[in-house]
Amino acid sequence: MVITPAPLRIEVRTRDRDVAAEAVNRIVAHEARVGLVHPRGEVDLASLTISYGDLTAIRLRLAGVHYSAWAPRTPALFAGGFTAGRAEIRTPTEHLRLGPRNAVLLPEGAPVDVEYQNIDQMFLAMPRALVADIAEETTGVPAADLRFTSGLPVSPAGRRLWTQTVAYVAGQLTAPAAEHPPLVVEHFLRHAAMTMLTVFPNTTMTVAHLSAPGRVAPAAVRRAIAFMESHADQPLTVAQIAAALGIGARDLCEAFRRHLGTTPPARLRRIRLERVHQELQSADPAGPTVAEIARRWGFADPGRFAGYYRARYGIAPARASGG
């Protein structure tokens, strides 16, 4: 998982067709065909792209044109939704016609042909390999076997869930002057990936049988915890932790369940919560706030953080800090 401490922000507002095409080309390299919707009309493009390494949020509004594009290869998984306009998208396996309140996922590495007319869309982009690692960790399906089988959500409820997730994550990332700590970005990325696996049809939903995971000794679990302790201030996936031990992610998850009754992500969250607790106990009243300390350790939601903290320590975090 690659997460940069400072975001790469690209914002464009233009009425020039060539500039508009170049702005969209920065998102996905493509061949564009731009036609005016009305003979006397003009292009009106507003584009905002925010990237924190592996996670990118894209807001694109494009009015006044019929925009057609062909991309030979999508560089990541792109999943989002439309709040206005119409889109027609062709992939090697599907022909999708989309409008307001629709959600869609474009597969990584596949050619795509799109036609936009007066669209307003918000998308998230992330590597398939990272989503596949999370799929293996949570379902046991080997990362190499993850494949999305349709670009449309499994149900209307799934569509609404994905729309809400994109609005939340992209809204946080694209907020004016926002710079999120790496562990908060990790939280956003993980939340989006797990929702994606729930909403869009994929092989984790159809697998009939998985071979039993290999047995992992308790000593490996202790080594995994030590690795998490020494790298708790860095974004971590279960695949990265398992690779450091030379075992499989699924085997590591099964070992945590067998020996500790928990999961590696839950134990990592507990370690980070302990770091917050330590900092709060020694905090200077004039120093960082409770929320700032919590965010530095990856707790983006103040209400959820307070719940975790009370469950673990029996008091509100403000009391621990003397606030």
∠269-270-272 over CA atoms, to 5°?
65
Task: Please give the pLDDT value at position 105.
Answer: 96
CA dihedral over 139, 142, 144, 149, signed as positive or negative: negative
Domain 267-320 sits in CATH 1.10.10: yes
Q: Which of 137 and 31 is assigned the larger pLDDT?
A: 137
* DSSP code at position 202: B
With a cut of 80, say whether residue 37 has pLDDT above it. no
> Would you place residue 17 in the very low, low, confident or very high pLDDT band (cuts 50, 70, 90)?
confident
Can you give the residue ranges of every domain in the chain?
A: 1-209, 267-320
pLDDT tens readout for residues 144-186: 889 999 999 999 999 999 999 999 999 999 888 778 999 999 9
Contacts 24+ apart (CB under 8 A), 91-95: 91/151, 93/150, 94/150, 94/151, 94/152
Task: Please give the pLDDT value at position 41.
Answer: 59
CA dihedral over 217, 242, 108, 64, signed as positive or negative: positive
Q: Measured in whole angstroms, how far is the alpha carbon of residue 36 from the centre of its chain?
A: 34
With a cut of 70, say whether residue 198 has pLDDT above it. yes
Bridging pattern class, strands 55-71 and 77-90: unpaired
With a cut of 70, say whether residue 313 has pLDDT above it. yes
Query: Which alpha helices (DSSP H) does 200-248 contain, by range?
Result: 218-230, 238-245
With a cut of 70, say whether residue 248 has pLDDT above it. yes
Task: Please give the pLDDT value at position 147.
Answer: 93
Close Cβ partners of 323 (under 8 Å, ≥ 6 residues apart): 285, 289, 290
> Would you place residue 143 in the very low, low, confident or very high pLDDT band (cuts 50, 70, 90)?
confident
Task: Please give the pLDDT value at position 142.
Answer: 85
- Kindly state the average pLDDT of the residues 126-138: 91
With a cut of 60, say whether residue 228 has pLDDT above it. yes
Task: Please give the pLDDT value at position 153.
Answer: 96
Task: Please give the pLDDT value at position 19.
Answer: 83
Is the Cβ–Cβ distance between 154 and 105 less than 8 Å? no
Structure tokens at 281: 């106990």
Structure tokens at 245: 């031990």
Rounded Cα distance between 32 and 18, Å, is 10
Q: Which of 38 and 279 is assigned the larger pLDDT?
A: 279
- Kindly state the average pLDDT of the residues 283-302: 88
Residue 306 Cα distances to 181, 217, 229, angstroms: 19, 34, 22
Task: Please give the pLDDT value at position 44.
Answer: 86
**pTM of the entire predicted model:** 0.85
Rounded Cα distance between 236 and 168, Å, is 22
Task: Please give the pLDDT value at position 287.
Answer: 80
Domain 1-209 sits in CATH 2.60.120.10: yes
> Would you place residue 233 in the very low, low, confident or very high pLDDT band (cuts 50, 70, 90)?
very high
* DSSP code at position 119: E
Task: Please give the pLDDT value at position 175.
Answer: 85
> Would you place residue 23 in the very low, low, confident or very high pLDDT band (cuts 50, 70, 90)?
confident
Beta-carbon count within 10 A of 162 CB = 24
With a cut of 90, say whether residue 295 has pLDDT above it. yes
* DSSP code at position 71: E
DSSP 25-49: HHHS--EEEEEESSTT---EEEEEE
Residue 104 Cα distances to 97, 140, 198, angstroms: 10, 25, 13
Rounded Cα distance between 136 and 120, Å, is 34
Q: Which of 26 and 14 is assigned the larger pLDDT?
A: 14
Closest CA to 298 of 272, 260, 266: 272
Structure tokens at 322: 């003397």
Phi, psi of 106 (to 5 degrees): -105, 130
Is the Cβ–Cβ distance between 103 and 169 less than 8 Å? no
pLDDT tens readout for residues 95-122: 999 999 999 999 999 999 999 888 999 9
Task: Please give the pLDDT value at position 69.
Answer: 85
